[in-house]
């Protein structure tokens, strides 16, 4: 039975939602509800049957389903209330939640909300894929769900566009299940996947990786994919004439990026950043007091261990908020990401942070031997040397309360080549 | 001499192993262990899924409990594809005992009640 009032409602019972709820419970918040639209707790990990999860969280290498079960076992052991098969349809700025399930429509009031609704996949339209749209052009996560949960192989001759982790992992999975993976094309001059996956998913199976290549044509017949053409691109991603290569295939897999699943937040009036995640302060609170967010709906993470860590931290801020330790009159200093930085979180830091602040960022392209500099005007407040930074790995740098105090108007972050 | 990318953690150190098995380029000691293992004992954990009956889910995920030789992956996959389990199943249940006499079990990695 869903009650009418909760101290904390967690929307989305994936790893972020469960870790946040567990930590909140441990901090003494007792009246918690987790809502998820699936028929299980665990989110995307249910279909990630490969291993490599949990190296920091549990100090061992687990598969996705094992990782999510560790968390869901704990949710159950702590008697944290959760409802499944229930979709949140909207939230209001006063923290009223509307949810729908088989029993009907529910209106729930929360003192605080943690939104952990994960992300969705970019598709053919989002990348303006040229050519026809026959069946056989499919996003990689969907193919992963079909294969790993429902047991359907999406095709026998597969080409993959995009070398992020999902693409690499699917290249191996499809190969192991008997499909021929002809190659992986990547528009960037470098791969966007973890090294582990380049080695264990492509090199192990001699699957070619075409860097600086994209799909330039898609052809079908009778509604089914017949083949594709890939071409090399220049540094502005323009196709170089005369570089076309054709492949006969029945499937084109599109692991072409993930987008925060944030419409609930947007419709509640939460300000979103360019990447579609919420704009947050150092407490992971949105512009609506009491609405917090973490996990892939905030920014896409490569490691689930970082998702759970983030969400547990947010639970601490939710606890402070519920205890009334929210300083509404603090003035925010915007965090400004300089050239070469994709984004920096949090987007703003108040004049009275409760704790040190860990900034999270990604570079736009791989860089070597750089100093990451936090500065204002001409004054460097912190400089951290990094031998390598790559776009596929989120980097964290922590600033102490003393360091944070030195910024007046803005917190600027830039990369500078080390002499 | 062989060049490897260490995959123990996301740092991905570029390692060089010389003919005397000296490892350079590693940030931490795990890089040495990784490099020596990669050149002397090439092993991988295999993850997949097997048929499941008596359930709304037609598949349940499995893995080799320990790493197996890379050269045996294909043969182990054939064994995995022959297995059919019956729900309920839980994490750690044995799907194949001592697969191909490699001394490693294939175990279930998901709880499915029905
Ligand atoms: C294919 C793939 C491979 C990966 N490989 C690795 C790896 O090898 N190692 C690693 O560490 N990490 C890996 N990751 C990353 C990591 O698993 C994810 O970043 C992490 O699990 C995301 O957790 P989350 O809770 O933010 O989102 P999710 O797990 O997506 O959870 C979101 C939840 O919200 C629910 N939801 C959404 N909207 C609503 C709504 N309106 N109402 C109710 N419920 C809703 C969804 O049902 C879902 O359960 C991988 C990710 C993917 C996609």
Whether A292 contacts A278, CB under 8 Å = no
Using an 8 Å CB-CB cutoff, list chain A residues near B9: 55
Residue in A49, A150, A152, A192 to test binding to B, most B beta-carbons within 10 Å: A49
Residues A53 and A169 in one domain: no
Does the pLDDT of residue A45 top 70, yes or no? Answer: yes
Q: Are A254 and A161 contacting, i.e. CB atoms less than 8 angstroms apart?
A: yes
Q: Is residue A89 located within the same domain as residue A203?
A: no
pLDDT band for position A107 (50/70/90)?
Answer: very high
Closest approach atom of ligand 1 to CA A36: 44
- With beta carbons under 8 A apart, name residues in chain B contacting A176: 46, 48, 73, 77
Are A210 and A278 members of one domain? no
Question: Of A44, A96, A48, A94, nearest to A288 (Cα)?
Answer: A94
Domain spans in chain B, listed from the N-terminal domain onward = 2-41, 44-108
Residue whose C-alpha is closest to residue A224's, from A326, A300, A154, A123? A154
Interface test with B, best of A40, A41, A63 (most B CBs within 10 A): A63
| Structural domain boundaries enclosing A20 | 1-120+258-326
B91 vs A contacts (CB less than 8 Å): 65-66, 69
pLDDT of A264 higher than 80: yes
**Of A234, A256, A278, which one is at a domain's C-terminal end?**
A256
- Check pLDDT > 70 for residue A257: yes
Q: Does residue A89 share a domain with residue A12?
A: yes
Residue A329 has pLDDT above 80, yes or no: no
| Segment B27-83, tens digit of pLDDT | 889 899 999 988 888 889 999 999 999 999 999 999 999 999 999 999 999 999 999
Residue nearest to atom 2 of ligand 1 (CA): A166
Peptide bond into A346 cis (omega under 30): yes
* A181 in the same domain as A140: yes
pLDDT in tens, A56-93: 888 888 999 999 999 999 999 999 999 999 999 999 99
Q: Residue A374: which CATH number?
A: 2.60.40
| A249 in the same domain as A182 | yes
> Based on the domain organization, do A139 and A24 belong to the same domain?
no
Q: Which atom of ligand 1 is nearest to the CA of A51?
A: 8
Rounded (5°) CA angle A272-A27-A286: 10
Residue A245 in 3-state DSSP?
A: strand
Which pLDDT belongs to residue A393?
85
Q: Which residues of chain B have a CB within 8 Å of the CB of A200?
A: 7, 44
For A49, the closest of B12, B47, B51 (CB atoms) is B47
- From A9, A14, A82, give the residue whose CB has the most ligand 1 atoms within 8 Å, as the site to mutate: A14
CB contact under 8 A, B5 and A199: yes
Q: Give the residue, A47 or A369, on which the prediction is more confident.
A: A47
Q: Chain A contact for B47, CB < 8 A?
A: yes
Q: Where are the alpha helices (DSSP H) in chain B?
A: 30-40, 73-82
> According to the model, what pLDDT value does residue A253 have?
97
Q: Which two tokens stand for residue A92?
A: 């209001």
* Eight-state DSSP code of residue A102: T
Q: Where are the beta strands (DSSP E) in A187-327?
A: 209-211, 213-221, 224-232, 245-248, 251-254, 258-260, 291-293
Domains held by chain A: number = 3
Domain end residue (candidates: A280, A310, A326): A326
| A148 vs B10, B59, B63: nearest CB | B59
Superfamily (CATH) of domain B44-108: CPE0013-like (3.10.530.10)
Looking at the fold, whether A360 and A322 belong to one and the same domain comes out as: no
- With CB atoms and an 8 Å threshold, state whether A303 touches B10: yes
pLDDT in tens, A272-297: 999 999 999 999 999 999 999 999 99
Do A239 and A344 have their domain in common?
no
DSSP A279: P
pLDDT exceeds 80 at position A153: yes
Which pLDDT score is estimated for B9?
Answer: 66
**ipTM of this predicted complex?**
0.90
Supply angle C-alpha A151, A157, A160, rounded to 5.
90
Q: Do residue A239 and residue A265 come from a single domain?
A: no
**E-strand stretches of A133-290:** 137-139, 157-161, 180-186, 209-211, 213-221, 224-232, 245-248, 251-254, 258-260
Q: Using a CB–CB cutoff of 8 Å, tell me whether B65 touches chain A.
A: no
Give tens-digit pLDDT for A395-408: 999 999 999 999 99
CATH (domain of A273): 3.50.50.60
| Residue where a domain stops, chosen among A310, A326, A342 | A326
Chain A residues with beta carbon closer than 8 angstroms to that of B110: 46, 49, 65-66, 69
Structure-model confidence comparison of residues A139 and A191, the more confident one:
A139
Is the same domain home to A129 and A99?
A: no
Strand-pair partners of A51: A63
């Amino acid at each position: 039975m869903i009650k009418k009032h909760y101290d904390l409602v967690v929307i989305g019972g994936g790893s972020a939602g469960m870790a946040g709820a567990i930590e909140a419970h441990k901090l003494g918040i007792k009246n918690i509800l987790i809502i998820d639209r699936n028929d299980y707790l665990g989110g995307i990990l249910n279909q990630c049957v490969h291993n490599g999860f949990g190296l920091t969280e549990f100090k061992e290498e687990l598969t996705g389903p094992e990782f999510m079960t560790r968390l869901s076992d704990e949710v159950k052991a702590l008697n944290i209330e959760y409802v499944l098969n229930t979709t949140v349809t909207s939230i209001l700025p006063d923290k009223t939640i509307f949810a729908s399930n088989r029993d009907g429509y529910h209106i729930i009031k929360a003192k605080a909300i943690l939104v952990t609704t994960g992300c969705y996949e970019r598709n053919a339209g989002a990348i303006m894929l040229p050519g026809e749209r026959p069946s056989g052009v499919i996003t990689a996560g969907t193919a992963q769900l079909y294969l790993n949960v429902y047991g359907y192989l999406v095709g026998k001759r597969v080409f993959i566009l995009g070398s992020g982790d999902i693409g690499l992992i699917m290249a191996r999975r499809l190969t192991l299940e008997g499909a021929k993976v002809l190659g992986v094309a990547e528009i960037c001059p470098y791969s966007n996947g973890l090294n582990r996956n380049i080695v264990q998913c492509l090199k192990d199976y001699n699957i070619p990786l075409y860097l600086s290549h994209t799909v330039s044509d898609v052809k079908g017949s009778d509604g089914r994919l017949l083949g594709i053409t890939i071409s090399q691109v220049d540094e502005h991603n323009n196709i170089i004439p005369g570089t076309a290569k054709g492949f006969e295939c029945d499937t084109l897999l599109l692991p072409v990026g993930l987008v925060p699943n944030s419409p609930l937040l947007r419709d509640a009036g939460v300000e979103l950043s360019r990447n579609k995640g919420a704009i947050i302060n150092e407490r992971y609170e949105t512009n609506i007091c009491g609405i917090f967010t973490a996990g892939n709906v905030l920014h896409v993470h490569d490691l689930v261990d970082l998702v759970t860590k983030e969400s547990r931290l947010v639970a601490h801020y939710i606890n402070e908020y519920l205890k009334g330790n929210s300083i509404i009159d603090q003035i925010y200093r915007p965090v400004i990401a300089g050239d070469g930085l994709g984004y920096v979180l949090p987007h703003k830091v108040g004049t009275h942070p409760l704790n040190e602040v860990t900034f999270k960022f990604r570079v736009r392209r791989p860089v070597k031997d750089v100093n990451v500099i936090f500065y204002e005007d001409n004054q460097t407040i912190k400089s951290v040397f990094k031998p390598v930074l790559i776009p596929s790995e989120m980097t964290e740098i922590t600033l102490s309360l003393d360091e944070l105090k030195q910024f007046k108007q803005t917190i600027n972050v830039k990369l500078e080549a080390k002499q | 001499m062989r060049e490897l990318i260490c995959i123990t953690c996301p740092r991905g150190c570029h390692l060089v192993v010389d003919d005397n098995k000296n490892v350079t380029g590693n940030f931490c000691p795990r890089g040495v262990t990784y490099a020596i293992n990669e050149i002397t004992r090439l092993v991988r954990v295999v993850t997949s899924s097997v048929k499941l009956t008596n359930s709304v889910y037609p598949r349940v995920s499995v893995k080799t409990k320990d790493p197996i030789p890379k050269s045996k992956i294909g043969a182990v996959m054939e064994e995995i594809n022959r297995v059919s389990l019956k729900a309920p199943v839980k994490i750690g249940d044995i799907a194949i005992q001592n697969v191909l006499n490699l001394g490693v079990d294939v175990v279930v990695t998901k709880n499915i009640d029905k």
